[in-house]
Amino acid sequence: MKKKSVIWSVVVIACLLVAGIGAEEQPQRVMNFLAVMDLDCGKAIDKENCVALTNVVIDELVKIKKYTVIDRANRDKILGEAKFQMTGCVADRCTIEAGRILGVGKMVVGSISKLGQTYLINLQLLNVETAAVETSGAEECKCEIEGLIGAVRNAARKIMGEAPAASSTPQQPAQPPVKLKTNGKCPEDMVYIPEGNFCIDIYEYPNKKGATPKANVSLDGARKLCQRVQKRLPTPDEWEMACMGQQKFIYGYGPNFDKTVCNSKRKNITVSGELIKCKNNYELYDMIGNLWEWTDDSVSALQWLRGGSTHNGVKYNSCKGRYPIRKPNWQKWDVGFRCAKDAE
């Protein structure tokens, strides 16, 4: 009996010690975790783009590595199991409640509004334990919606005490967009690229807005179709020059990849011009994603497909994206082209 009593006492003491250690370590563990609430974009930005910009905040905070950031899926799962209503949760009190349910020490909440032609971004870092605003980060962006990517990243860096990213999106274009008509140098359905003194189709062949681009075409087939309309295929260098635009953006529409802008990782080919944001400042559409595009390299045994397709993600869906082909009669369902010609 005495032996059992001693054993029980040891067990109780051990439990108390473990409980004590847990209580001491718990605040430190919790305070190192952080969650981000969906941005409140109001009427300034549509829901799809607002979600994408919230993901930009999450991505930037993960890169900074000051906190362990809960991803969106786990956040939604935990809050869903607690039957917490996230819709309309933008007030500090609501955010703090969400943070306590999630078991994190910090919460990030933010908003994007628009005043005239200027977007206003504001992020706040809240302490769940004290309900105090620890830091805030504000950015202004007189830009197209794509320019918000860099501005939102910098606001996220501010609340972490980090310097702005060197590759942030410029708020103003480095150069103004060229006009579609340039002193008669190009036909009406083409754009003049002054850097290379050539013209290129606005859309993928047949170069008509609202038309389904021609796909499953070989290099020889693309050459012949361009010749029928007194044009030719662009060289790899010409294609890349046109894709990057005057601002030299690697994705054409901007410096950062955004799968919601162009036809990336969708099931079907989209008609030309359907994705109105998938263009560069030359007003060239769908050079990223949708269909791989043939280029014609006269000095190499290889021929190059450029720009990626709906079947690809960030690896190929860029102005640098390329895939080598050795057989001119090779064709595939997600391969198309656009035509070019020398300027007059």
Closest of 48, 47, 93 to residue 109, by C-alpha:
93
Separation CA 69–CA 34 (nearest Å): 5
The edge-to-edge listing of strands for the beta sheet with 292-294 is: 322-325, 303-306, 292-294, 335-336
Q: What is the mean pLDDT of residues 142-166?
A: 87
CATH topology for the 173-344 domain: paralog of FGE (formylglycine-generating enzyme) (3.90.1580)
Surface-to-core class of residue 114, CB atoms within 10 Å of its CB (0-12 exposed, 13-18 middle, 19+ buried): middle
Confidence grade of residue 90 (pLDDT, cut at 50, 70, 90)? low
Separation CA 147–CA 223 (nearest Å): 37
**In 3-state terms, what secondary structure has residue 120?**
strand
- Give the per-residue pLDDT at 185: 85
Q: SS in 3 state form for 294-331?
A: ECCCCCCCCEEEECCCCCCCCCCCCCCCEEEECCCCCC
Reported as a single tens digit per residue, the pLDDT across 261-272 is 999 877 789 999
- Give the per-residue pLDDT at 166: 57
- Give the per-residue pLDDT at 91: 65
Q: What's the CATH number for 30-159? A: 3.40.50.10070
Q: What is the mean pLDDT of residues 91-97?
A: 82
- Give the per-residue pLDDT at 227: 97
Greater confidence, 128 or 171? 128
Domain spans of the chain, in order of start: 30-159, 173-344
Confidence grade of residue 15 (pLDDT, cut at 50, 70, 90)? very low
Average confidence score pLDDT of the chain: 83
Closest of 178, 197, 228, 215 to residue 339, by C-alpha:
228
Q: Is the pLDDT of residue 199 over 50?
A: yes
